[in-house]
Structure 1
């Protein structure tokens, strides 16, 4: 993607690591792109300097442009404003309606889990790497880190563009921010929005697999009914299992799959 970015957007490559990390002021929580870019442009100078210093200490070279950005040079910040809008139009604008639809379906689904099954089930359903140890929420991260809650609450933010491990940060108001991979990432969203809300959340094939798993089925039977390979059916089942929507158990050479109460609840809600 870096090679295809229009020239006005390329200054952003100086700020964002190839691994995806970037200064936090560049990625504020907002309701839409206009508000988000406005928040970036009004970032406090102390925050900007601290975040640029942090990124340069990780893997970003301290370029002349970054120095000017840290000094709040007017023309450089105009460059940043133009770069953000250019990158949005080149990378996300054509997918924005689908991103919004998938985001609202995802958040509605999580809200239903919260209302029906409580906070503990909601948090552990975000990723297979999350578990409770007494009153402590444990999350597998690439490195050991302890995050103390300040009592301000937790913000759950699904990402349709990130399929890796959970990301944790702090909001400016002290709330804990957890960014988790959405059940269906962007590449699996169809070009035309499905009329079935379950398909909008899971993708058409995976939604069908969940419906089939109302009655216990083997991986081979799922593959036959979905008209996909056994390997593809196994991958669909793995994703549903990690989301807590089905259980799987082996009996001899066969692996059987069936809906969990959470999966049945989702099917009922979308009916």
Structure 2
């Protein structure tokens, strides 16, 4: 059983990640290469022998359960920033995390012992393995990863607005449930995570299909869960030029910006448009049921509908129906 213990303060500070985390997705992809899953079978074949070879060294650290050392997958939104964070991990943390992984049943190897000893050549090998695996495993798929992340996050945000934080968190997996202020997930092992009043960041992964993973990083607590539409079921995003031909350049740009709620003033500032132009185009997009508008006090926030998200992500949408418990693009 995985139990995440919340306080009232923690519940008030739950947030959804703004961007996908390349290092997290990479490490989960390494784990998925070791798992038997029919949905990911075509992806494993597509990745090919060379990518699997580049991931072999990483698999000494990351098992199929994805329960590797926390220093290996910092949730930075930029790969290079995350890699710098890995390479600058304090030696004490490296050793304590490797000791934790080994205690949990992962036997130490010569390579991991040299990592713990801070052997320069071994750390250079780790950097090379991470860079190569990132290029070969994630590189060609990043547009799809981003499209899946944006659609997942937009749907969860709408669910949060309509049903609240407790229902949103229990929707992360079919087995999630609340016991008072403790969120429980079915698991074959016992894991207890007690938040410290600073909340938790919820991060979806299109590469993961196991139970949620929780860990405390330098940036705070993160809860990583499997997105309901995994990578193999995400179509290639719609071509930007094709979208512009359909909607016009300005409306296509506005729609792309509204994968996250924004006000008219936000769009004026971010796109360099006149206020009257933003008003005209958002009105047309609302009429086409591609975006919604919701008043919050004196401001109006615009956001994509499932139909708009489906158009951006290149996946089928269900007739532009209002938000429900089923995210756009799930099959």
Give the TM-score normalised by the residue count of structure 2.
0.58
Matched, 1:190 2:235: yes
Cα gap change, 1:133 to 1:66, in 2 (>3 Å):
closer
d(CA) in 2 for partners of 1:68, 1:76 = 6
1:265 deviates by 9.9
Task: Tell me the equivalent position of 2:63.
Answer: 17
Contact 2:238-2:312 within 8 A present in 1 as well: no
Residue deviations 1:58-87, cap 9 Å, x none? 343322221111111111111111110001
Contact 1:169-1:178 within 8 A present in 2 as well: yes
Residue deviations 1:181-228, cap 9 Å, x none? 1121101011343865443799845x34xx49x7xxxxxxxxxxxxxx
Contact 2:160-2:168 within 8 A present in 1 as well: yes
Cα gap change, 1:135 to 1:14, in 2 (>3 Å):
closer
Task: Tell me the equivalent position of 1:227.
Answer: none
d(CA) in 2 for partners of 1:144, 1:64 = 29
d(CA) in 1 for partners of 2:308, 2:175 = 27
Provide the secondary structure at the position in 2 that maps to 1:105: helix
Cα gap change, 1:82 to 1:111, in 2 (>3 Å):
same
Matched, 1:48 2:159: no
Cα gap change, 1:187 to 1:60, in 2 (>3 Å):
same
Provide the secondary structure at the position in 2 that maps to 1:146: strand
Show the 5 A alignment for 1:133-152: 133-152=179-198
Q: 1:39 aligns with which of 82, 85, 97?
A: 85
Contact 1:183-1:201 within 8 A present in 2 as well: no
Provide the secondary structure at the position in 2 that maps to 1:47: helix
Gaps of 5+ in 1: 215-260
d(CA) in 2 for partners of 1:265, 1:165 = 19
Provide the secondary structure at the position in 1 that maps to 2:63: coil
Task: Tell me the equivalent position of 1:199.
Answer: 310
Matched, 1:180 2:225: yes
Contact 1:9-1:82 within 8 A present in 2 as well: no
d(CA) in 2 for partners of 1:145, 1:15 = 20
d(CA) in 1 for partners of 2:59, 2:170 = 34
d(CA) in 2 for partners of 1:264, 1:120 = 14
Show the 5 A alignment for 1:80-95: 80-95=126-141
Show the 5 A alignment for 1:22-171: 22-171=68-217
Contact 2:143-2:236 within 8 A present in 1 as well: no
Contact 1:141-1:166 within 8 A present in 2 as well: no
Provide the secondary structure at the position in 2 that maps to 1:94: helix
Cα gap change, 1:166 to 1:8, in 2 (>3 Å):
closer
1:112 deviates by 2.4
Matched, 1:263 2:324: yes
Provide the secondary structure at the position in 1 that maps to 2:222: strand
d(CA) in 1 for partners of 2:87, 2:58 = 14
1:110 deviates by 1.8
Gaps of 5+ in 2: 1-32, 35-47, 244-306
Contact 2:159-2:324 within 8 A present in 1 as well: no
d(CA) in 2 for partners of 1:265, 1:60 = 38
